Amino acid sequence: MSDTVEAVLDTLAETAPEIRGGLVGRREYQDGENPSGETQLAADVHADRLLEERLLAIDGVGSYASEERDEVIEDGSGLAVAVDPLDGSSNIKPNNSMGTIVGVYDAPLPASGHDLVAAVYTLYGPITTMMAAVDGTTTEYVIEDSEARSASDSSSGQSPRDSERHVATEGVELPNEPTVYGFGGRVPDWTPEFTDYAREIEQELKLRYGGAMIGDVNQVLTYGGVFAYPALESDPNGKLRLQFEANPMAAIVEAAGGASSDGERSLLDVEPEDLHDRVPVHLGNRDLIDRLEGALADGG
Ligand SMILES: O=P(O)(O)OC[C@H]1O[C@](O)(COP(=O)(O)O)[C@@H](O)[C@@H]1O
Ligand SMILES: [Mg+2]
Ligand SMILES: [Mg+2]
């Protein structure tokens, strides 16, 4: 692992308790919209500012892009980080899981998933964990916050707080016997081909859908299965964004022995056109993704 990637992992571990602490009191929507046309929560904006400041301060990180900003911020030469500061942020109101996704690309953005040198997510569940794919291996860490404190203390002007990451599982692998699935989007908006596939999967696996991709994919990594936010009749590219969400999650799942697909090919093979491109996302055990691609091709 390069020094810069190591520093990115350390920084994300240090920042995670602050983002988590900052959720309290930031549950309301603001006036602004993000580039995808979604209303922003105060928590989205807070996490974005904190991550921009911390990640751009790392030697070897030269640019920062996020789901919450129109343009890439350039700050010298080096690796490019693409961030979903809060994934699943609509879960803040019902107090369910959320997370942060970071792709570290060795190429100007928008970049191919094959340019990722690291892909990371932190999951703010009952405990805070971090999943990182580096050099073809996926590792799960537990993040311990040694000075838990209230959100009101947390602001982007302060120095990182004291937290540590400990390896929980090195070489995470999807179990061979899958048991769970979670599919996003309204069922009447699914394509007929995806609906047929879903009807089959429902007979075999248990539904686990929480409305935050990180939480839902983390269950797939833990129990085996399939997650999808598919192409919709109303939007053939689905909902999730290639640079900030799909590519990093695909790299993590593939390094754990699973597969990813936009419906036809690995998400890592999708060529980006625009920073905020959306793409249909399917992630999980290899045979379930092969069946998905077969089902979509049969109907096409
Ligand atoms: O509310 P829906 O349609 O089920 O969408 C849920 C999906 O949208 C997301 O919340 C989108 O991410 P953001 O919260 O970062 O916009 C995913 O995490 C999740 O899979
Ligand atoms: Mg997201
Ligand atoms: Mg988000």
Indicate if ligand 1 lies below 6 Å from the C-beta of 84: yes
Indicate if ligand 1 lies below 6 Å from the C-beta of 87: yes
Q: Is residue 198 part of a domain?
A: yes
Omega before 108 cis (within 30°)?
Answer: no
Task: Assess whether 98 and 207 both reside in one domain.
Answer: no
User: What residues are paired with 83 via a beta bridge?
Assistant: 66, 102
Ligand 2 centre to CA of 32 (Å) is: 17
Q: What is the ipTM of this complex?
A: 0.96
Task: Assess whether 99 and 216 both reside in one domain.
Answer: no
Task: Assess whether 139 and 25 both reside in one domain.
Answer: yes
Cα separation of 131 and 168, whole Å?
10
Ligand 2 centre to CA of 211 (Å) is: 10
Task: Assess whether 137 and 242 both reside in one domain.
Answer: no
Task: Assess whether 101 and 17 both reside in one domain.
Answer: yes
Q: What is the pLDDT of residue 247?
A: 98
Asked if residue 152 has pLDDT above 50, the reply is no
> From atom 3 of ligand 1, which residue's Cα is the shortest distance away?
185
Q: Tell me the percentage of the chain whose pLDDT exceeds 90.
A: 83
Q: What is the pLDDT of residue 151?
A: 45
Cα separation of 164 and 70, whole Å?
32
Mean pLDDT, residues 77-106 taken together: 96
Task: Assess whether 147 and 252 both reside in one domain.
Answer: no
Q: The CATH number of the domain where 228 resides is what?
A: 3.40.190.80
> From atom 14 of ligand 1, which residue's Cα is the shortest distance away?
88
Tokens (6 digits) for 217: 């994919």
Domain count for the chain, please give it: 2
Mean pLDDT, residues 63-88 taken together: 96
Indicate if ligand 1 lies below 6 Å from the C-beta of 241: no
What pLDDT digit, counting tens, does each position of 92-139 carry? 999 999 999 999 999 999 999 999 999 999 999 999 999 999 999 999
Q: The CATH number of the domain where 108 resides is what?
A: 3.30.540.10
Mean pLDDT, residues 148-171 taken together: 67
Q: Is residue 273 part of a domain?
A: yes
What range does the domain containing 24 cover? Answer: 3-170
Asked if residue 153 has pLDDT above 60, the reply is no
Task: Assess whether 118 and 157 both reside in one domain.
Answer: yes
Confidence of residue 150 (pLDDT cuts 50, 70, 90): very low
Task: Assess whether 134 and 218 both reside in one domain.
Answer: no
Q: What is the mean pLDDT of the chain?
A: 93
Asked if residue 240 has pLDDT above 90, the reply is yes
How wide is the angle at C-alpha 55 spanned by C-alphas 31 and 158, nearest 5°? Answer: 75
Q: What is the pLDDT of residue 31?
A: 75
What pLDDT digit, counting tens, does each position of 188-217 carry? 999 999 999 999 999 999 999 999 999 999
Q: Is residue 75 part of a domain?
A: yes
Ligand 1 centre to CA of 214 (Å) is: 9
Q: Is 228 helix (H, G, I), strand (E, B) or coil?
A: strand
Task: Assess whether 129 and 188 both reside in one domain.
Answer: no
Cα separation of 51 and 64, whole Å?
9
Task: Assess whether 157 and 184 both reside in one domain.
Answer: no
Mean pLDDT, residues 262-280 taken together: 98
- Domain termination site, one of 127, 148, 170: 170
31-40, 161-170, 213-222: which is most confident: 213-222
Q: What is the pLDDT of residue 145?
A: 83
- CA nearest to 165, candidates 48, 11, 60: 11
Q: Is residue 175 part of a domain?
A: no
CA torsion angle 31 37 40 46 (round to 10): -110
What pLDDT digit, counting tens, does each position of 243-257 carry? 999 999 999 999 999
Asked if residue 149 has pLDDT above 90, the reply is no
Kindly list the strands in the beta sheet with 206-207, ordered across the sheet, starting from the edge strand earlier in the chain: 206-207, 180-183, 225-229, 281-284, 259-261
Binding-site residues for Mg(2+): 67, 84, 86-87, 245
Q: Is 37 helix (H, G, I), strand (E, B) or coil?
A: coil
Asked if residue 163 has pLDDT above 90, the reply is no
Asked if residue 58 has pLDDT above 80, the reply is yes
- Domain termination site, one of 135, 170, 205: 170
Cβ contact 49:154 at 8 Å: no
Cβ within 8 Å of residue 235, ≥6 positions away: 278
Q: What is the pLDDT of residue 161?
A: 61
Cβ within 8 Å of residue 166, ≥6 positions away: 141, 142, 144
- Domain termination site, one of 121, 148, 170: 170
Q: What is the pLDDT of residue 126?
A: 94
CA torsion angle 278 283 286 292 (round to 10): -60
Q: Is residue 280 part of a domain?
A: yes
Task: Assess whether 210 and 247 both reside in one domain.
Answer: yes
Mean pLDDT, residues 173-179 taken together: 98
Indicate if ligand 1 lies below 6 Å from the C-beta of 213: yes
The single-letter DSSP state of residue 232 is B
Q: Is residue 204 part of a domain?
A: yes
Task: Assess whether 36 and 131 both reside in one domain.
Answer: yes
Mean pLDDT, residues 27-49 taken together: 85
